[in-house]
Amino acid sequence: MVSDDPGDAPIAARINCPFVYANGRVCAGHVVRVEVYKADMDWSLDAEGVWHFGFRPRSHFHVFCSEKGNHAGFRRQDSAALKFWFDTLPEDVRRVIQATQPGLE
């Protein structure tokens, strides 16, 4: 079934890694994982007796690259360049999250 709703844009299969090296070179990898930290999750029963899953992040998201994981390097902290608040996530990543968990805005 194909939707005519313009809001049903396809989700990108490959999302470029947002990491940029100090010399200005853009990472050639792509996003393979997104993790959320300090999230609230709940399941609730509505008036019709149907269970619903709820999810709200309280903190930040980590994006992981196909080439360099978290771009931290050996014995270093995660790169701040791959940590995002929901409203600062790359648009394609945010679109994937919203499409797989409606209600996040």
pTM above 0.75, yes or no: no
Chain segment 35-90, per-residue pLDDT in tens: 888 777 788 888 998 898 877 777 788 899 998 888 876 555 666 778 888 888 99
Nearest in space to 63 (alpha carbons), one of 101, 18, 5: 18
What secondary structure does DSSP assign to 6-45, as a single string? TT-PPPPS--B---B-TTSPBP--BEEEEEE-SEEEEEEE
- Sequence spans of domains, the chain: 31-100
Query: Is residue 40 within 8 Å of 64, Cβ to Cβ?
Result: no
Q: Model confidence at 16, in pLDDT bands (50, 70, 90)? A: very high
